[in-house]
Amino acid sequence: MATYDKGILGSVSGKVGTVVGGTWKGIDYLRSKGRRKRNAVPTGKQKVHRAKFSFVAKFIQSMSGLPEMTFKHYTKEMTASNFLFSYTMDNVLKGVYPDFSLDYQLAIIAKGSLPNGINPTAVRNGIGQVQFNWSDNSGNGIAKPDDKAILVVYCEDLNQCQYKIPGADRQAGTDTLNVSAFSGKLVQTWLSFISADGDDTATSIFTGAVNVD
């Protein structure tokens, strides 16, 4: 049964005949009710698409909570996670079914107009530690000394991501992330920055693969 909000001219929530009403990001919508298929055997294209979807979704889900902070200006028509998912599907996913992979050099974990650090790198630094370094470029465009670093480390073997936000100030030129859970593993790393007020971010830079001690 459907419900009407604010009378007959209001929004519809639920099923009405062959349509379904609802609200998404404050926008009311109506869509046709899908036909239920019983015991349908997926086609070859469906298998490939589902496999791609599952492969990328696993990567995105490992970063739970991060996209909502680092893709703020790209969420007017979709969620932050959906934006990142779409970008990864179109630009990062490689390979032929069933052997998919991600080109981590092309992956992003943040996007915005804030300048990133200059010549960023990531290296192992003691047991379970990854150290990020960059050259301070405060005053370059809208870059400020108190912009905060965003450190991201992803372990493919465990499908787990660890990140620090906010990290050290841009002017510090270095910061360290404890990833002891990834000891003995190869990880992928990215650096970004977020303004002190949290309003803007830098498009992330891939800082390479690191073998964690």
Residues 105 and 163 in one domain: yes
Q: Please indicate, yes or no, if residue 38 is contained in any of the structural domains.
A: no
Classify 187 as helix, strand or coil. Answer: strand
* Residue 89 domain flag: yes
Please give the residue range of the domain that contains residue 63. Answer: 44-211
Q: Tens digit of pLDDT per residue, the chain (213 long)? A: 444 455 444 555 556 556 666 665 566 555 666 555 555 677 778 999 999 999 999 999 999 999 999 998 887 778 999 999 999 999 999 999 999 999 999 999 999 999 999 999 999 998 999 999 999 999 999 999 999 999 999 999 999 999 999 999 999 999 999 999 999 999 999 999 999 999 999 999 999 999 999
| 10 and 87 fall within a common domain | no
Number of domains in the chain: 2
Asked if 26 and 61 sit in the same domain, the reply is no
pLDDT of residue 207: 98
Instruction: Assess if residue 78 is contained within a domain.
Output: yes
Q: Do residue 202 and residue 141 come from a single domain? A: yes
- pLDDT number for residue 8: 44
Same domain, yes or no, for 58 and 152? Answer: yes
> Which residue in 181, 194, 113, 200 sits closest to 151, CA to CA?
194
Closest by Cα among 69, 67, 173, 165 to 121: 173
The verdict on residue 37 lying in a domain is no
Residue 78 per-residue DSSP state: S
Q: Does 172 share its domain with 102?
A: yes
CATH classification of the domain holding 145 = 2.60.40.10
- Tens digit of each residue's pLDDT (9 = 90 or more) over 84-113: 999 999 999 999 999 999 999 999 999 999
The pLDDT of residue 86 is: 95
